[in-house]
Structure 1
Amino acid sequence: MKSKYRHWVFVKRKKNRRTHQQRDSNACATVVIPALNEARRIQEVVAYALADSATAEVIVVDDSSIDDTAMLARQAGAKVMTSSMLGKGVSMRDGAAAATHDLVVYLDGDLTNLRPGIVTSLCLPLLNEGADFVKARFGRGGGRVTELTAKPMLKVFFPELAHLAQPLGGIIAARKRLLQTIRFEDDYGVDAGLLLDAHLAGAKLAEVDIGLLEHDSQPLQDLSLMANEVSRAIFDRAKKAGRLHVEQVTAMYENQRQVAAGIDYVLSLRRGRRCLLLLDMDGTVTPSRFALELARNTGNEAALVQLLDTPHDDAITRSERIAELFRFIHKQQFEQVARTLEIRPGVIEFVKQARRAGFMVGVVSDSYFVAADIIRRRIFADFALAHTLTFDGEVCNGQLQINPAFLPDDVNSVTPICKSNAMRCFLADKSQPPVELIWAVGDNLNDLEMLRLADNAFVIDPKSPKLLEEPGITLISEFNDLVELLTHEASESIEA
């Protein structure tokens, strides 16, 4: 069966190449396919897009897949590029920026059994000047998030769009110049955000029926987070449009954002993986400290230096005092610093190799989740665990919430707040199979207990000589030192 499939793909690829060479004036659109671990179907989707006479080029934006998505897409005739940061929205934005045609069509990488000519159908309203932004309408009913979250909210805040059948669908066509003026959300809110931004920008909208559609469903544990992110995107646009007057709703943003910071959600992402890699953020993934860089950007550096590494303060007290320094700082400043913070060379490749070897990879930080989650997406890690700052109307109120994963079950523990307690949460996870191998990388004494508990522990650019005196901790000069060792040992563990 596999050989027949490969032969079919080879024949289709040759046909697609001939079609591509013979394209005429009908070829008017760049098809962008954001993809993450879509090796099972990506060739089929690329072949489908290239077979449409309206397709001038296909760009697959790979979200650092750990399977053969990129290779298979390239073999099928697509241009392949790596997303600048983890997240579908970023991939969609990167693809639009790279498009060489004014019409951009988005397809999902897991589609199958599509009727012929969908790219053409989506482009026709744009070519006829009947629309600037086109959403696909397909035969099956909307998913749970669409029906229970998106549609009711649109009916309240944007009733003129309530007729749309699939407001969250990722099959979209739009003019590139329009896409360059609107914001792409990083998360599940991207489709709703694009629709509303286009509408609020005065773009003409259209909906095209593309028949039945089949694609993989989202895992159940992702639906809650998806609903929260879609809600946040809609609330945000409603507020900016002057259609939202209940300021208390902004408090909901923080509750929704913090879902991804909780250990229960993180454990749900493990999905049978038996190997775990935990990376400290400040000083390990990033050469500098996030709090210090933020303080420099906000004029609080002198005050912060007085608070950092003070021996008379316990960890919680020191963290709370530092958080107070950033009161009245807008969340966008936190995010901007996290997006521009230097990443240590070799980290991204190391994380990618770790995930390929079967590791679940996380950034574990004493810093703030608002920053740690951006850093983990920049290095393509699976999750982040950090403390949360609360924001009122997008402005920090200086209040710090310690991540419960960092607290011990035993109130008499000698490490009342520690990254090692987060590691113990994985070891205590009752879902099968259990975690059997843990690697950890750190740089300072606040990582010591975590390093001691790991099966393999490493330090890079250590800030204290005590780390090198500790048995079982290995000094590395760069992350590339670990790639070969990681792949070899993980393979042995899984085989055993």
Structure 2
Amino acid sequence: MVIPALNEARRIADVVRHALADPATAEVIVVDDSSIDATAELARDAGARVILSSMLGKGPSMRDGLELAREELIVYLDGDLAGLRPGLISDLCRPLLRGEADFVKACFGRSGGRVTELTAKPMLKVFFPEVAHFAQPLGGIIAARRSLLHSLRFEDGYGVDIGLLIGAARAGARLAEVDIGSLENDSQPLHDLTMMANEVSRVIYAHARQTGRLHVEQVVAMNEMQRQAAASIELVLSRRRGRQRLLLLDMDGTLTTSRFVVDLALSTGREARLQPLLDHPNDDAATRSQRIAELFRFVHREEFERVARQTELRPDAIEFINRMRRAGFMVGVVSDSWFVAADIIRRRVFADFALAHLLQFDNDVCTGVLRLNPAFLDAAGAQISVCKSHVLRRFRADTQPPAVTECWAIGDNLNDLGMLTAADRPLAMAPRSPILSQVPGVTIVSSFAELLALVPAPRAPLAPVPALPS
């Protein structure tokens, strides 16, 4: 039994106890996505084995649980469920034990949600009619054989459950659906539903294209626009939800021990051509960024993502960020690098958002074209003033109450200077430039372990915090 969980303190203990009470359950593994409430503690007290996810997102958590589970039959439950009836897990496993199925999806009393009815089901009828009859294709209650799950792709975000269903069908697995009665789970806010619909449609389109059922290239362009939309300051501000404390973190040299573009150049044999482009004194930030982007033309997106997943993080970064989030801070990665990398790093450290510049991809191949993130430009949109300080100003100018009242910023080099001087609490992490050490008010620190002692106490008891986007 595997339960991916993020901020599910309200119900996680009941879900764990219900699972352990079923005779079909051999163990319960709760994979915690760096919750800032008592999810991990309550799950552990209820009898679960609790581990920290290797990366933010339901898909990575499900995969982590699969790797640790010892049994051949794996059951997934959500951590926010209520109204679970006795024997539910046994019922889910029965088709597997009888040799009638390899993959079982639960259906339950209520009808599908808005994304299910308006996005998932119509698309399945067009592209994958063989699974269109499933009542809740987006549901997270699943039972399957370990051998099958190991062969499937676990998507990072909201598309993981429908991706597993389609993947199992494509693999020739025998599918079954089991009615588990009625139950309750928490509904998603409207703006989360938009993100969910985009991600679900992207996964269905990707599977359709891979199976030769899709030949509309405009859809590929639409997917790219959806990825870019995730890097917009407007979307980030919509997810602030009343948090008045803000922590902005540089990526290269601050969260990571190296520079992403250097790591990418080493992995693609471009280090000799990159070196003259780095920190050229005659280039402004926009020109330098564009020249470096052109160097990686024709590199596949998967290589960008692979390098970002393997880049070394500074010790204790995850613990510091978790404690700051517990103290009520909205935490973001703000990078002069590219969103394709920054968003992976932010999920690895369990931050709330990432803002970075946007590389253009065509069929997942880099075109070498760079679009500066408007959040880094001044109010007039002038490229000559590309600066991270404009990100902080956008938060302070946010008209949604309550206003941001406290901002911390952490960087390591001159490109972070504007952000640091605009912050209420500027901190320089083992600065590469001696100038940062001379700026009044900037505190020099050598590690995140040192920063742990500076984490403030929450201003008030923590309110329920929404799930992070994946």
**TM-score, structure 2 as length reference:** 0.96
Query: Which residue of 304, 307, 323 corresponds with 1:334?
Result: 304
Cα deviation digits, residues 421-457 of structure 1 (max 9, x gap): 0111100011111111100000011100100000000
Letter paired with 1:473: V
Letter paired with 1:425: R
Contact 1:419 1:447 in 2 (8 A): yes
Q: Is 1:109 matched up with 2:79?
A: yes
- Structure 2 residue aligned with 1:27: none
- Structure 2 residue aligned with 1:245: 215
Cα deviation digits, residues 224-271 of structure 1 (max 9, x gap): 111111111111111111111112211111111122211111111111
Letter paired with 1:381: A
Larger Rg: 1
1:423-434 map, 5 Å: 423-434=392-403
Q: Is 1:468 matched up with 2:437?
A: yes
Q: The residue matched to 1:316 in structure 2 has which SS?
A: helix
Q: Is 1:483 matched up with 2:452?
A: yes
- Structure 2 residue aligned with 1:136: 106
- Structure 1 residue aligned with 2:357: 387
Take 1:336 and 1:458, find their aligned partners in 2: how far apart are those partners?
Answer: 30
- Structure 1 residue aligned with 2:243: 273
Contact 2:85 2:181 in 1 (8 A): yes
Letter paired with 2:308: A
Count of residue pairs brought into register by the alignment: 462
Q: The residue matched to 1:364 in structure 2 has which SS?
A: strand
Distance 1:177 1:148, change over 3 A: same
Contact 2:374 2:381 in 1 (8 A): no
| Deviation at residue 282 of structure 1 after TM alignment | 0.7
Unaligned runs of 5+ in 2: 463-470
1:358-437 map, 5 Å: 358-410=328-380, 416-437=385-406
Q: The residue matched to 1:208 in structure 2 has which SS?
A: strand
Letter paired with 1:119: I
Take 1:227 and 1:316, find their aligned partners in 2: how far apart are those partners?
Answer: 34
- Structure 2 residue aligned with 1:85: 55
Distance 1:475 1:49, change over 3 A: same
- Structure 1 residue aligned with 2:467: none
- Structure 1 residue aligned with 2:138: 168
Cα deviation digits, residues 298-352 of structure 1 (max 9, x gap): 1111111111101111111111111111110000000000000000111111101
Distance 1:434 1:493, change over 3 A: farther
Take 1:324 and 1:392, find their aligned partners in 2: how far apart are those partners?
Answer: 14
1:117-266 map, 5 Å: 117-266=87-236
Contact 2:428 2:445 in 1 (8 A): yes
Contact 1:288 1:342 in 2 (8 A): yes
| Deviation at residue 491 of structure 1 after TM alignment | 4.1
Contact 1:437 1:493 in 2 (8 A): no
| Deviation at residue 175 of structure 1 after TM alignment | 0.5
Distance 1:209 1:443, change over 3 A: same
Letter paired with 2:114: R
Q: The residue matched to 1:485 in structure 2 has which SS?
A: coil
Distance 1:373 1:304, change over 3 A: same
Letter paired with 1:418: C
Take 2:460 and 2:83, find their aligned partners in 1: how far apart are those partners?
Answer: 40
Take 1:190 and 1:411, find their aligned partners in 2: how far apart are those partners?
Answer: 37
Distance 1:412 1:234, change over 3 A: closer
Contact 2:377 2:390 in 1 (8 A): yes
Letter paired with 2:405: E
- Structure 2 residue aligned with 1:348: 318
Take 2:416 and 2:382, find their aligned partners in 1: how far apart are those partners?
Answer: 20
What root-mean-square deviation, in Å, do the aligned CA atoms of Structure 1 and Structure 2 show? 1.4
Cα deviation digits, residues 17-52 of structure 1 (max 9, x gap): xxxxxxxxxxxxxx1110001011001101111111
Take 1:102 and 1:477, find their aligned partners in 2: how far apart are those partners?
Answer: 46
Cα deviation digits, residues 341-369 of structure 1 (max 9, x gap): 00011111110111111111000000000
| Deviation at residue 187 of structure 1 after TM alignment | 0.6
- Structure 2 residue aligned with 1:37: 7
Cα deviation digits, residues 180-219 of structure 1 (max 9, x gap): 1111001111001111111111100001111112100012
- Structure 2 residue aligned with 1:20: none
| Deviation at residue 467 of structure 1 after TM alignment | 0.7
Sequence identity of aligned pairs in percent? 66
Take 2:449 and 2:35, find their aligned partners in 1: how far apart are those partners?
Answer: 19
Letter paired with 2:198: N
| Deviation at residue 116 of structure 1 after TM alignment | 1.5
- Structure 2 residue aligned with 1:15: none
Contact 2:334 2:354 in 1 (8 A): yes
| Deviation at residue 487 of structure 1 after TM alignment | 2.1
Query: Which residue of 279, 286, 309 corresponds with 1:316?
Result: 286
Letter paired with 1:379: V
Take 1:242 and 1:93, find their aligned partners in 2: how far apart are those partners?
Answer: 27
Letter paired with 1:139: G
- Structure 1 residue aligned with 2:465: none
Q: Is 1:450 matched up with 2:419?
A: yes
Letter paired with 2:310: T
Letter paired with 1:51: A
Take 2:232 and 2:314, find their aligned partners in 1: how far apart are those partners?
Answer: 26
Q: Is 1:305 matched up with 2:272?
A: no
- Structure 2 residue aligned with 1:285: 255
Q: The residue matched to 2:30 in structure 1 has which SS?
A: strand
- Structure 1 residue aligned with 2:24: 54
Take 1:480 and 1:218, find their aligned partners in 2: how far apart are those partners?
Answer: 35
Contact 1:225 1:259 in 2 (8 A): no
Cα deviation digits, residues 159-182 of structure 1 (max 9, x gap): 111111111100000001111111
Contact 2:340 2:358 in 1 (8 A): yes
Distance 1:247 1:476, change over 3 A: same
Cα deviation digits, residues 265-299 of structure 1 (max 9, x gap): 11111111110000000111111111111011111
Take 2:446 and 2:130, find their aligned partners in 1: how far apart are those partners?
Answer: 58
| Deviation at residue 493 of structure 1 after TM alignment | 13
Letter paired with 2:106: A
Unaligned runs of 5+ in 1: 1-30
Contact 1:348 1:380 in 2 (8 A): yes
| Deviation at residue 492 of structure 1 after TM alignment | 9.4
Take 2:382 and 2:233, find their aligned partners in 1: how far apart are those partners?
Answer: 22
Contact 1:320 1:400 in 2 (8 A): yes
Take 2:161 and 2:452, find their aligned partners in 1: how far apart are those partners?
Answer: 36
